[in-house]
Amino acid sequence: MEQRQEPRRRTGGRSARVVRDVLKATLDELSRSGFTALTFEAVAARASVSRTTVHRRWPSKQELVRAALLCLAEVQPTARDTGTLRGDLVEFIRIRVGLEGQRERFAGLLRANMTEVLDPELMALGRLVEAKLDQPIVSAVDRGIARGELPPGTDPRLIVAPVFMTLAFRVFVQRDDLDPGFAEQLVDVVLAGARTGAAVRRACQAP
């Protein structure tokens, strides 16, 4: 469940392991305490390395958090290509919303995002990470359009948002369990709507 790739592959075993452990510890601390309360000491302790080891590579808290957030998108488990858009979306739901470990982490990061006024640079980084996290789902929608499952010009945001934000709200914010029957019917409603052409990008909207 917690299979992770190293954020940057290095040949050196220990160095790569330290980077991976520190960035994972940073994400854990960030989702537990938020940005303001996050300390080098807590990250170092959680990663079982010295404070100096952390500080040498990432001199500021901003840099450390930036590296950890950029790594988050890369270590996501990948969904297999099921051959249908419906199948792919159900698979992404399982991976993004259904896994226990993911749930805790995402809920914590969202809480940090809601609670704190981050500096503009980190806010922009948050948007970038969200976009990177959504990219594989957007690609699955694009594959569905290419296969003719949805009309050309369909806006992937109008598929991704109502499925994943709705479930994220229920699971991460309202702390409900994921109801697979509800989730699958939600996918069916959104796809049925999109098949009618209702999700085709409108000329009058911003691109």
- Report CA Rg, the chain: 19
Measure the CA dihedral 207/67/122/63, to 10°.
Answer: -140
Taking the least distance from each CB to a second copy, the nearer of 86 and 94 is: 86
The sign of the torsion formed by the CA atoms of 175, 189, 206, 147 equals positive
Q: How far is the CB of 113 from a second copy (least distance, A)?
A: 7
Q: How far is the CB of 129 from a second copy (least distance, A)?
A: 12
Taking the least distance from each CB to a second copy, the nearer of 126 and 136 is: 126
Using CB under 8 A as the criterion, which residues of the chain lie in contact with a second copy when the complex forms? 107, 110-111, 113-115, 130, 155, 157-158, 161-163, 165-166, 168-170, 172-175, 181-182, 185-186, 188-196, 198-199, 202, 204-206
What's the token pair of residue 70?
């950029």
Is the distance from CB of 78 to CB of 4 less than 8 angstroms? no
Taking the least distance from each CB to a second copy, the nearer of 8 and 201 is: 201
Taking the least distance from each CB to a second copy, the nearer of 47 and 190 is: 190
